[in-house]
Structure 1
Amino acid sequence: MEPSIIDFIYKRKQLLVEKWLEEVESVTQDSAITRIPEDIYSETNREFIDVIVNTLHVSPEEAKERLRSFVERLIHIGWPLSYFTRGLQAFRRVILEEMKENTQAEQAFSTFGEVENWIDGIVNQLVDEYTGSWENTLNLQKLALKELSAPLIPVFSHISVMPLIGTIDTERAKLIMENLLEGIIEHRSQVVLIDITGVPVVDTMVAHHIIQAAEAVRLVGAECILVGIRPEIAQTIVNLGIDLGKFPTKSTLRKGIESGLEVTNKKIVEIE
């Protein structure tokens, strides 16, 4: 950017900040912003402008790093992208209006493009930072879900439980199948209880995946018992005409464990 433009912005920095603070009040209408305490909001506004203006007198690499550090901190505490984009648009308007009032028309027109490019570059970086943060968060959540999803838990000798929680799609069904078969071999399970208490909806596709899992369990020499059949789930299964008659079903995990104990010739006795 031309040194004369940088000098213009620096000399009028305080005035520009004050005008910008008035402009940016409209951004506070965002519900995510209104929940932020007033003192933190005001302090962050001034820090935001300092970061933006200070990008003018450092190298492009250092400017990007300073902006990245500032934005990452606010992303982590939940500041919306609209705060930055709308705030920058307001700051651009303030600068251009100030130039229009205090410079000749020809000079103001020639500098508008440089200011536009400067602010657009910052907006693009902000969008990239937010996009990267969301993608990273989404990937981490997917990894965490895979690590926690559908574990096969041994509860008694040769009896294991697989609790299912949340929506089951094709990708997750594949993971369930893999964990199920690997767990049966590892724990030498004779009976596997698939608990669908935490599955909100059982439709044709979900039932198909469960039936496939039960068939796979049978093929490796174990017995599958489906537990957690709530009344509304039972009604849905009947209405859809889904046949779950190939393997036993129980309404609760407790009843399923009792059946599993019978299959493995075990029982629980009370000690007086």
Structure 2
Amino acid sequence: MIELKSPQEIECMHVTGRFVADVLTQLGDLAEVGVNLLDLEHHARSLIKARGAESCYWDYAPSFGNGPFRNVLCLSVNDAVLHGLPHDYVLRDGDVVSIDMAVGIDGWVADSARTVIVGAAAADDLQLVEATEVALEAAIEAARPGNHLGDVSAAIGEVAGRYGYPVNLEFGGHGIGRTMHESPHVSNNGRRGRGMKLLPGLTIAIEPWFAKTTDEITFDEDGWTIRSADGSRTAHSEHTVAITDGDPLVLTRRA
């Protein structure tokens, strides 16, 4: 079932979104050579606790995964792209790190991700991150009343094609609001003019992610961490977006 949110409810989600944006800004600044992934995790935990927010990841137990997720961040490094478990790993020069976070405040959820490059960045890594960011902005631009969900998905796939990256369709974006995962599913590729018609009040998390040279994935033994099947590097960008009567409203926009 898809629930359309009122302007007042969207503003409540925006409160959560601004908090998520602030935390991701801090974490991106902290992700430097020599920093342990667990330092990022514990910093986020302290900020969430101080705000009185609730992590959507803690105790999350979908059909995949090895038991409940017991962290507040997904931290995915290099060829890992989604659901990376924070662990004892010290960041190195040139590492590509996806930082993904979803929390609820007063019953309303926001979800966002960014990819940062630690230290000196290789040109092809910069291009990969750029592609996810360009795809995200193109998809946001398509998230307008009267358009279709396929327009949002097609915008992502078209950017991937221009950059020469394949697209995996197993994991993508999703509806969001009172919980982290609501209907509809938001594919990272599609056909324009297809799918449900976008209406004001729909809130979705749009999250393009690409690997350099494959659309196939593997899972680590932990059951959570998703990697490119060929070991090529990956990147992931995500925002929570509300469809309004006018321009799309990005609820997790970083300053």
Which has more helix, going by share of residues? 1
Work out which of the two has the higher radius of gyration on C-alpha atoms and give 1 or 2.
1
TM-score by length of 2: 0.27
Which has more strand, going by share of residues? 2
TM-score by length of 1: 0.26
Give the number of the structure with larger relative contact order, counting CA–CA contacts within 8 Å between residues 6 or more apart.
Answer: 2
